[in-house]
Chain A
Amino acid sequence: MAQVQITFQDVNVGSKTAKLITFSGQLDETNVDSEAKKIYQVIDEMAEPNLLLDFSDLEYMNSKSIGYVTDWYSKASAKNGKIVIARPRVNILDILKVVGITQIITIYDNLDEAKAAFGVAEVAAVGTAPAQTEAPEA
């Protein structure tokens, strides 16, 4: 059975707060339905859901996982929020491209660029600062 860990962290992106959501492991049929609920809960709880999906440790995602990403995007957009994806591995970027997600959601090579997508001026000062500016979620 595939294993995946998802962690959540609040990050300041300029005047806004975004949720950095880090995926580690494999998203497939055995776990994606239950894991997706966690993301929907975050979207429901945030007034303006700005989500930064860090895929750097995501090893595999199936088509249903990609479907959930597009649905999160739609729901976040409906609340004036935004979703970006950062640091996907080559195979993950490949599958995101083939299903057209890269035409809908912007993909960034690194976290700083992804954070900048939410608020350019302020984030420029954050640069590559370590995580002390980021408060872990309770």
Chain B
Amino acid sequence: MAEAATVTQPQVSTTHPEEHSVLNKSNAVKGEATPVKISITLPTNAYFMSGIRDFTMTVVQNMTGFSEKWAYRFQSVVDELTNNAIEFGSAPGEDIKVTFVSMEGKYIEVFVEDTGTGANKKTAAEMTAFVDDHRNIDPTTITTIRGRGLTQIVVSWTDTLEFQDNEKGGLTVHVVKNLDAGEEGV
């Protein structure tokens, strides 16, 4: 079970202080209808990931206008990002935070935050360089068991992938998928 889950329709300006800088990166545009924001904080334990996948499917299918195909795709995107945060970003006993922001018919975006206390901390600059180095690699040349999640699945199935060093000393990964015209039901 997630430690906390909240469903709100906040104004960006009323966001919790710790989230403010993260949501400044959001697609949300002042003056437009307010996006739906859902934040889940969970321990660094892969046990909870099937629940996050189920939740992602529910959010994408019911609150975004994306097709079932994209719901499955975003389920994988969130699973890969969450797993990376648990495995590398936050130490055992700490938390990671997953935030969904969606505007029905327009986009969904996800922020995954870790605390930078994990076994293999990376900076935003290092992660950006890593993705840039691998994003065009021929996937058939990958011979390792790892190495397909971020650079193949996440890169392929999002319109925006960016990294930010966060206030906790960790990394925030931000992905956006826009619902392009004519894409509904695809």
Contact = CB atoms under 8 A, between A and B. Distances in A.
A71 B46 contact: no
A67 interface: yes
Given A1-B47, A1-B50, A2-B50, A62 B149 contact: yes
Given A62-B79, A94-B72, A99-B152, A29 B140 contact: no
A10 interface: no
Interface string B89-127: 000000000000000000000000000000000000000
Contact of B50 (A30, A63, A66): A30
Interface residues of B, number: 30
B76 A62 contact: yes
B55 to A, nearest CB: 14
Contacts of B49: 2, 28-30
B83 interface: yes
Interface string A1-44: 11000000000000000000000001011100000000000000
A90 interface: yes
Given A29-B46, A100-B138, 11 more contacts: A30-B47, A62-B79, A63-B153, A64-B149, A74-B143, A90-B72, A94-B69, A99-B142, A100-B142, A103-B140, A104-B140
A67 B145 contact: yes
B146 A99 contact: no
6 contacts: A26-B53, A62-B76, A63-B149, A98-B153, A99-B148, A100-B140
Nearest to A60: B53
B21 interface: no
B53 A63 contact: no
Most buried by B among A1, A2, A29, A104: A29
Tell me what chain B mostly uses at the interface: helix, strand, loop, or mixed. helix
B46 to A, nearest CB: 4
Chain A: number of interface residues, binned into ranges: 20 to 34
Interface of A: 1-2, 26, 28-30, 60, 62-64, 66-68, 70-71, 74, 90-91, 94-95, 98-101, 103-104
Given A100-B138, A100-B140, A67 B50 contact: no
A66 B140 CA distance: 12
Interface string B123-157: 00000000000000011101111111100110011
Interface of B: 46-47, 49-50, 53, 69, 72-73, 75-76, 79-80, 83, 86-87, 138-140, 142-149, 152-153, 156-157
Given A100-B138, A100-B139, A103-B140, A68 B145 contact: yes
A98 B152 contact: yes
A98 B157 contact: yes
B156 A62 contact: no
Nearest to A26: B50
Contact of A66 (B53, B69, B73, B148): B148
**Which 6 A/B pairs are nearest by Cβ-Cβ distance?**
A100-B139, A67-B145, A63-B149, A91-B72, A29-B46, A63-B148
